[in-house]
Every structure is written in structure tokens, then in C-alpha cells.
Structure 1
Amino acid sequence: MSIVKKALATMGIGAATVDTVLDKTSYQAGERINGVVYIKGGKVEQFVDAIYLSLHTSFIKVSDDRKYTNTATIVQERLNEPFTIKEGEKIELPFTIVIPHDAPLTISNTRVWVTTGMDIKNAVDPTDLDYIEVQPNSLTNAILTSIESLGFRLREVECEAASNAYGQRYPFLQEFEFVPTSGEFRGKLDELELTFLNQNETNAEILFQVDRSARGLRGLLSEALEMDESFIRMTITEHDRLVLGEKIGTLIRRFI
């Protein structure tokens, strides 16, 4: 083995490369991603410790009145045991990875991507990145649609840093901000914020934040003291699907 080639490979020059091809680019939360990782040996033989696939997103964290963008890992899986790839060798590694039901949805500015990494001892680790679209599963879609049927419009969606006080798995929560544009809640609410705390195929634990409109002196005082907001935690199941609009509407009316 050429000493020069080996030295260059440690710097990533002439080293092994990795390229991931996904079966498609748009998925539903809870769906499986199928694909193939294509590995090509470089100009020298190299020892590969691991190949791993990760699902990532970004979220906003506020510190000292400044906003920062952080990256979070949603799920990560190791695809292989250690092996040696020879000079110029080509390897195909099929894989399947499941998108969790509580993965953030790619709405508004939210982005989700798949990263493929290859750990090579004493060398620059090659990586590959692929953006994907994550759509809501059936129950989540029904919940969002039911809120819109009550006269709300989705105004903004953002992933924000959060403590683990609500028992979520990730260092962030995805917040959906709705505003009433028609119907009985227009003029009574400033906005309705929804956060999914825990989700699976048949259940969704939700945190609602009801922000009432200021009406009269008392209302203005409450707004100034931030007493015009109510937080409601509830669980919705598949059995609620036919009465979702009624159930959510009844809940909101208790706080206006």
C-alpha cells in the first residue's frame, strides 16, 4: 500500500465514498423508508467501523433574547458490523428505517433529512444527506383538519426547544399556531396553539394553548399580565375520529 495514498486517504482524498438512494422523497409519519447505501472503495484499502443512518431536524432555541438553530436526531440506526473495503470495491447495502409517528411534519420552515455516515478509522468520515417530506399520519391529519373546520387557519409551524417536562422524547416540540378567521371563535380568540406531546398510530396526546382576545378593561388587564392564556392537555384516539370537531370545539368553549 502506497504511504502517500494512505496519507491522502486519511484527509479524505482518494478515500471511500458513500451515496444513499431512497425509494422516494415523500413519506407519512410511521412509514418505512427503504433504500440502498452504495459504498465505493477509494485508492487504498480501508477499515470501516460502522455505517449508520440518521433522521434529523432543526429547531429554534432562544438564549439571551437571541435565536439559535440547533439540530436534533430523531432516530439513528447502525446498518452493519465492521468490515474492510478494498481499493475500488463496490458494495450495496439495502436498508429499512421507520419514521416515528411523532417525527416533525415538514410544514412551513420545518425540514427533515436523512444522513448517512461511515466511520473510518484514522480518516475523514464520508457522509451523504437527503431531504425528505414528512406528511401527517391519518389521525394527525384528521385532528388538523377538524381544527380548520372550526374556522381556524394554520398560520405558522415551528420546532422550538423544550424541556422534558411533558415527557417528550426529543429536545424540541413542534408547535402549530392557528388563528380564527371565521365561525364562532372569530373575535373571541387571538390564536390557538397546538403541540403534539406523544403520538402513535391510534393515539395523540395534545397540549392546547387557548389565547383569548382582550375584551374590556378586565380583558386588557389580563392580557397585560398574560392571564389570558389557558393550557389544556388532552388525549385523542381513533375512536374520537367521527366527533373530533365537536370534541375540540367543546373543549375550547370552556375557556372563552
Structure 2
Amino acid sequence: MLLRKYMSLLGIGSAKIDLVLSKESYTPGELIKGYFFLKGGTIEQQLKRIDCDFVRIREAGEEEAILDSTTILTSTLLQSEESNQIPFSFKLPSELLPSGSETTYRFKTRLHFKEGVKSIDQDLIQIV
């Protein structure tokens, strides 16, 4: 049991997060709906917060800009192998440029624990 705890602190067998969206393509100004899917690891872990950034990446200049950010503070105890869902909604800005070879958009999600390595997820979306 102690070995599993220390492995979890290093990120091996720790809880994971996945942002699940209803679709992949959106228009500027559209409301995105989905949920954060939490999956417990090999031991119970105390959650601290969930950060989700909406990011634009411009390939030519290798520029990454955070356009908006959301933080959910929590003190939930996620049991071993437990699954949980937290609703997610986000209204896209109306002045977004369409996705293409030069510009991409994504959500970068991070699950922070009271102890241990954070879990990271990235979800690419298309703006049409």
C-alpha cells in the first residue's frame, strides 16, 4: 500500500482527467457543452482544483495565447478507481478567426492534487 502511494505521488497510477466535448467543430460565439471525466487511480487522492485554459496557437510564430481560463476549486476525495463527472460549459468569443494551418485552438485542462503530480489533458477544437 505504501509503495502504491509513493508511485501515485510520482504520477504512476494517479487519478486522470479528460474533458469530453459534445463535438469537435464550433462557430465563433457558440456555447460549448461537455463534462470533465475524473477517473480515480490506484489509491484515493485529495483533489485541489481543476484549471481549464482556452488557448490559441499560431504555428508560424510559435505563439501561444491563453484567451480565457476557468478554475474550479474543490476538496473532493476521489476514491481508488472511482469515476466522476463535472459539467462544463464555455461560450466562445465571437471574434475568433477560423482554424487552419496557421491557427489552432484547444482546451488545456489540469487536475491538481493536494499531493502528487498533476494530470494534464488537451482537447483540440475546430473553429469554422
TM-score normalised by L of structure 2 = 0.89
Asked whether the equivalents of residues 29 and 93 of structure 2 are also in contact (C-alpha less than 8 Å), the reply is yes
Tell me which residue corresponds to 1:113. Answer: 106
Tell me which residue corresponds to 2:51. Answer: 52
2:126 alignment partner, one of 133, 138, 142:
133
Tell me which residue corresponds to 1:92. Answer: 85
Q: Give me the CA root mean square deviation.
A: 1.7
Report how far residue 127 of structure 1 moved.
1.3
Structure 1 pair 124/104, CA: closer, same or farther in 2 (3 Å)? Answer: farther
Number of aligned pairs?
Answer: 128
Report how far residue 68 of structure 1 moved.
5.0
Tell me, in whole angstroms, the C-alpha distance in 2 between the residues paired with 1:21 and 1:116. 11
Q: Relative contact order: is structure 1 or structure 2 higher (C-alpha 8 Å, sep ≥ 6)?
A: 2
SS in structure 2 at match of 1:42: coil
Greater fraction of residues in helix: 1
Tell me, in whole angstroms, the C-alpha distance in 1 between the residues paired with 2:9 and 2:63. 29
Tell me, in whole angstroms, the C-alpha distance in 2 between the residues paired with 1:59 and 1:26. 18
Report how far residue 80 of structure 1 moved.
4.4
Structure 1 pair 83/131, CA: closer, same or farther in 2 (3 Å)? Answer: same
Report how far residue 82 of structure 1 moved.
2.6
Does residue 36 (structure 1) correspond to residue 9 (structure 2)? The answer is: no
Structure 2: segments with no counterpart, 5+ residues: none
Tell me, in whole angstroms, the C-alpha distance in 2 between the residues paired with 1:113 and 1:124. 22
Where do 4+ consecutive residues of structure 1 move more than 2 Å?
79-82, 102-105
CA-to-partner distance for each residue in 1:94-150, whole Å, 9 max, x for gaps?
A: 110111123342133211011221011331111111111112xxxxxxxxxxxxxxx
Q: Tell me which structure has the larger Cα radius of gyration.
A: 1
Tell me which residue corresponds to 2:15. Answer: 16
Structure 1: segments with no counterpart, 5+ residues: 61-66, 136-256
Asked whether the equivalents of residues 46 and 115 of structure 2 are also in contact (C-alpha less than 8 Å), the reply is no
Asked whether the equivalents of residues 106 and 123 of structure 2 are also in contact (C-alpha less than 8 Å), the reply is yes
Greater fraction of residues in strand: 2
Asked whether the equivalents of residues 74 and 103 of structure 1 are also in contact (C-alpha less than 8 Å), the reply is no
